[in-house]
Amino acid sequence: MTLTPNRVEVAASDSARFSDFPATAPAANPVFYRTYSRKTPDGRESWSQVGDRNLGGLRQLGNLNDEEVALLARMQSEKKALPSGRWLWIGGTGWIEQSVNFSGAYNCTSTNLVDWRAFGLMMDLAMMGCGTGAIIEPHLIERLPIVRNTLDVVSVSDIGITAAEARQDDCTHTIDGNRVRIKLG
């Protein structure tokens, strides 16, 4: 007679293969490997490797001593306390060590919508992986420039036409009467 294993036995055998997460969290592996595990030359980071990487970043960021790092490592390995999801992804990478990318460590941001630059900032933050929110309270949005109802696109350049050394990092604009010139890249 053949017995079919019950779900608990199947889950227990699966968790032995993927011991980073408990059998009671069946979505943990796909979510972790999709969202927080970075590619390596050998495949993808394990939970342990992600922990080592982000703890190294936290040690540097917070100027933590060995005892503090050991506490964080234990809490993280026991999954009792974790850094933010953004930090799991970017903590301890060379990317976040560059000051222009510091904002990329935040899970979410909020921006006062008071001028055109605020829209560009929100796009930059979104491209860094931050959730972006706009504060659109009346006393703020009253400061926005008047919206021009007619938009005539005068010219659009082909992608790559600007030489790499002549490209700009930020979106810029100039307003001349009713004409707005926007330059990207």
pLDDT value of position 19: 66
pLDDT value of position 15: 42
Calpha distance 110→124 (Å, rounded): 13
- Residues 24/78/33/89 CA torsion (nearest 10 deg): 140
Average pLDDT value for residue range 145-150: 76
Find where tokens 């005892």 sit.
67
Judged by average pLDDT, the poorest of 8-17, 70-79, 107-116 is 8-17
Contacts 24+ apart (CB under 8 A), 151-156: none
In Å, the largest CA–CA distance within the chain is 87
- CB 76: neighbour CB atoms within 10 A? 21
- Helix and strand totals (H; E) in the chain: 7, 6
Contacts 24+ apart (CB under 8 A), 62-68: none
Calpha distance 63→68 (Å, rounded): 10
Kindly list the distances between the CA atom of residue 34 and the CA atoms of 46, 108, 156, 185, in Å, as whole numbers in the listed order: 12, 20, 37, 31
The model scores a pTM over 0.85 = no
Contacts 24+ apart (CB under 8 A), 38-43: 38/89, 38/93
Does residue 18 carry a pLDDT above 80? Answer: no
Does residue 142 carry a pLDDT above 50? Answer: yes
Question: What pLDDT digit, counting tens, does each position of 125-140 carry?
Answer: 999 999 999 999 999 9
